[in-house]
Amino acid sequence: MTVASLGLAAKGAAPALAASPVGVRNGALERMADAIEGSAASSILSANARDIESAEQNGVAPHMLDRLRLTQERLAGISAGIREIAAMPDPLGEITGMTRRPNGLLIGKQRVPLGVIGVIFESRPNVAADISALCIKSGNAVLLRGGKEAINSNIAMTCAIRGALAAAGLPEDGVCLVTDTSRDSATELMRLRGTVDVLIPRGGKGLISSVVENSSVPVIETGAGNCHVYVDSAADLDMAVDILFNAKCQRPSVCNSAESLLVARSIAHEFLPRAFERLSEKNVEWRGCPETCAILPSAIPASEEDYFTEYNDYILSCKVVSGVDEAIAHINAHSTAHSEAIITRDHPTAMKFLSAVDSAAVYVNASTRFTDGGEFGLGAEIGISTQKLHARGPVGLDALTSSKYIIFGDGQVR
């Protein structure tokens, strides 16, 4: 099937999903969870084994193989995640702000699904299940287009999901998979304005910027995180060392890890050697401004490019600044507007930083690593939005909904 006809199939399924009671949607999720770790597990695992074999033959790097690999334990994890989504409250139907206008009209705003959600993702085969579950819970149809390395896994996974939809009395086209993994199929999906209501890219920087540049379908941009930690002159330096170590080293491959350290000049001589020593536990490479390099002889000189770079690795860019104002200006000029932290005991400085830093999540005295749907108490998430329209920060179920005005009259005219 062409991408366009798959889009129409998903669009055809959307009204039934939108109209279904939450019990029916949750029933489909429970069946999905059961199938993925139960009846469909062996077919998913053998399809995944074929993907792993091809990847090994193609010389795919070990960390990529690990992303691609499914095990019975990982399937159980996926199923547990789906059951958590089933247990969440229904994001649909709520009517807010219902008021009576002077002419007697009753006007309110009702929460409704977006319609058809397109997702372009790369190698992780769990994405098909996670995203489908969030879309079904929120009454949306979804059109998935995964990477070619995971095609067999994705086919087996969506087959199990479609079976669960049908068994629950919902149209199986509520979840459609584009099996053509050529670049053309992604381009075609980006032009399905009118059929697909929103497009969410899940993957690396190249994928995201290609979608953002080329899509005529509205995009929710997620993922890029050039996150900063600013250690103020009034910081508790022990706390600052702990937070920096956590933000940089606990899991450097993820988007909410820190990439850049800014440090106030007045404490740089005291703080930098201590931070350097602590981060040397993980052999972190430092790339610094001239002042940093003067204090830390083993630091490499940083280029302007370094301050824009999301390393996702044990590398840290560092710059000595005069104080909070220069820190704010540097962050707003270089960050991807994901997550930034200030470490300070000074209240006015903290409040200034909170107010002036223009990012999705701004922290006082805590690690940037907390920017996550689960940590924020929002439940499962689709990603971290770094755009300002529609959704900012962790993208949960609410972001997969829209609203419509409903108006009750008894013959009103203007």
Residues contributing to the site for a second copy (CB under 8 A): 15, 18-19, 99, 101, 105, 107, 109, 112, 114-115, 193, 197-198, 212-213, 216, 218-220, 236, 239, 242-243, 245-247, 250, 332, 354-356, 358-367, 369-371, 375-377, 387-390, 392-393, 402-414
Residue 54's Cβ-count burial label (10 Å; 0-12, 13-18, 19+) is middle
Backbone angles phi, psi at 97, to 5 degrees: 60, 25
Q: How far is the CB of 270 from a second copy (least distance, A)?
A: 18
How many Cβ atoms from other residues are within 10 Å of residue 207's Cβ?
17
Query: Closer CB to a second copy, residue 151 or residue 384?
Result: 384
Angle at 47 between CA 85 and CA 70, to 5 degrees: 50
The DSSP bridge partners found for residue 383 are: 395
Query: Closer CB to a second copy, residue 102 or residue 297?
Result: 102
Residue pair 143/180 in contact by the 8 Å Cβ criterion: no
How many Cβ atoms from other residues are within 10 Å of residue 247's Cβ?
27
Tell me the two tokens of residue 36: 């993925």
Residue pair 3/180 in contact by the 8 Å Cβ criterion: yes
Residue 347's Cβ-count burial label (10 Å; 0-12, 13-18, 19+) is exposed
Residue pair 8/195 in contact by the 8 Å Cβ criterion: yes
Query: Closer CB to a second copy, residue 79 or residue 233?
Result: 233
Query: Closer CB to a second copy, residue 56 or residue 375?
Result: 375
Query: Closer CB to a second copy, residue 67 or residue 390?
Result: 390
Residue 390's Cβ-count burial label (10 Å; 0-12, 13-18, 19+) is middle
Q: How far is the CB of 325 from a second copy (least distance, A)?
A: 11
Residue pair 99/107 in contact by the 8 Å Cβ criterion: yes
Backbone angles phi, psi at 95, to 5 degrees: -110, 125
Q: How far is the CB of 319 from a second copy (least distance, A)?
A: 20
Rounded to an integer, what distance in angstroms lies between the CA atom of residue 26 and that of residue 181? 31
Backbone angles phi, psi at 161, to 5 degrees: -70, -45
Q: How far is the CB of 74 from a second copy (least distance, A)?
A: 22
Q: How far is the CB of 183 from a second copy (least distance, A)?
A: 19
Query: Closer CB to a second copy, residue 177 or residue 219?
Result: 219
CA atoms within 13 A on the CB side of 231: 29
Query: Closer CB to a second copy, residue 56 or residue 408?
Result: 408
Give the chain's largest Cα–Cα span. 80
Q: How far is the CB of 377 from a second copy (least distance, A)?
A: 6
Residue pair 31/168 in contact by the 8 Å Cβ criterion: yes
Query: Closer CB to a second copy, residue 265 or residue 388?
Result: 388
Q: How far is the CB of 102 from a second copy (least distance, A)?
A: 9
Q: How far is the CB of 306 from a second copy (least distance, A)?
A: 19
Query: Closer CB to a second copy, residue 75 or residue 220?
Result: 220
Classify 99 as helix, strand or coil. Answer: strand
Q: How far is the CB of 316 from a second copy (least distance, A)?
A: 16
Q: How far is the CB of 235 from a second copy (least distance, A)?
A: 11
Query: Closer CB to a second copy, residue 181 or residue 402?
Result: 402
Rounded to an integer, what distance in angstroms lies between the CA atom of residue 249 and that of residue 306? 18
